[in-house]
């Protein structure tokens, strides 16, 4: 698999960035790491029960999120976690989409970005599902996976009520980018 980066993550130093990307394959994690080493992922807490995966996620300083929480509390960072220059990667679909489909975006990553005054960076990951289709175990096929950083969305001056609009804008930008050839 060849990873290619179209554009680079551009945002001011000292600013928290929340990368939101489509999720079509387990290879999306490797693609993002190849494009932006040192980022921090957000993952479902129940994935930490899978021994080998849990070890890898801990090594990457992955932030666990309880997706089953019904408290109404949206995504949050552990207390005391510094956010200056933090690059947080979230797959807002909440899981890997079935082949040829997209899952609707969840709003919590956008609420988190607004809470912290972070910049939202939409990212379109092209063709990862061709290299490693969902459910194919480790049947990796030769392919070029392209990570395309899209125009950032500022959250300065936005309130929690704006999370829907920010989410819809990011989802639209990613959808449009995925319809174009990489």
Is the model's pLDDT at 71 over the cut of 60?
Answer: no
Give pLDDT, residue 156: 92
Beta strand 87-90 pairing with 40-44: parallel
Q: pLDDT: is 169 or 6 the higher one?
A: 169
- Over residues 38-63, the mean pLDDT reads 84
Give pLDDT, residue 135: 76
For the stretch 78-128, pLDDT in tens is 666 667 778 999 999 988 888 888 999 999 899 989 988 999 999 999 999
| Strand, helix or coil for residue 12 | coil
Give pLDDT, residue 123: 97
Among the residues of the chain, which ranges form H helices? 27-35, 51-59, 108-116, 128-131, 163-179
| Cα 146 to the center of its chain, rounded Å | 15
Give pLDDT, residue 38: 83
- Over residues 55-84, the mean pLDDT reads 70
Give pLDDT, residue 126: 96
Is the model's pLDDT at 146 over the cut of 90?
Answer: yes
Taking the whole predicted model, whether its pTM rises above 0.75 is answered as yes
| Largest Cα span, the chain | 46
């Amino acid at each position: 698999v060849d990873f290619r980066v179209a554009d680079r993550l551009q945002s001011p130093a000292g600013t928290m960035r929340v990368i939101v990307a489509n999720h079509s394959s387990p290879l999306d994690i490797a693609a993002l790491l190849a494009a932006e080493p040192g980022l921090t992922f957000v993952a479902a807490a129940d994935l930490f029960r899978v021994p080998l995966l849990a070890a890898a996620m801990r090594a990457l300083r992955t932030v666990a999120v309880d997706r089953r929480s019904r408290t109404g509390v949206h995504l949050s960072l552990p207390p005391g976690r510094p956010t200056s220059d933090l690059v947080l990667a979230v797959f807002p679909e909440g899981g890997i989409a079935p082949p040829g489909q997209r899952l609707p975006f969840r709003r919590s990553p956008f609420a988190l970005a607004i809470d912290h005054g972070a910049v939202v960076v939409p990212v379109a990951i092209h063709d990862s599902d061709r290299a490693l289709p969902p459910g194919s175990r480790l049947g990796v096929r030769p392919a070029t996976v392209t990570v395309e950083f899209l125009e950032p969305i500022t959250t300065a001056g936005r309130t929690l009520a704006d999370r829907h609009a920010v989410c819809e804008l990011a989802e639209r930008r990613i959808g449009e980018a995925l319809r174009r050839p990489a």
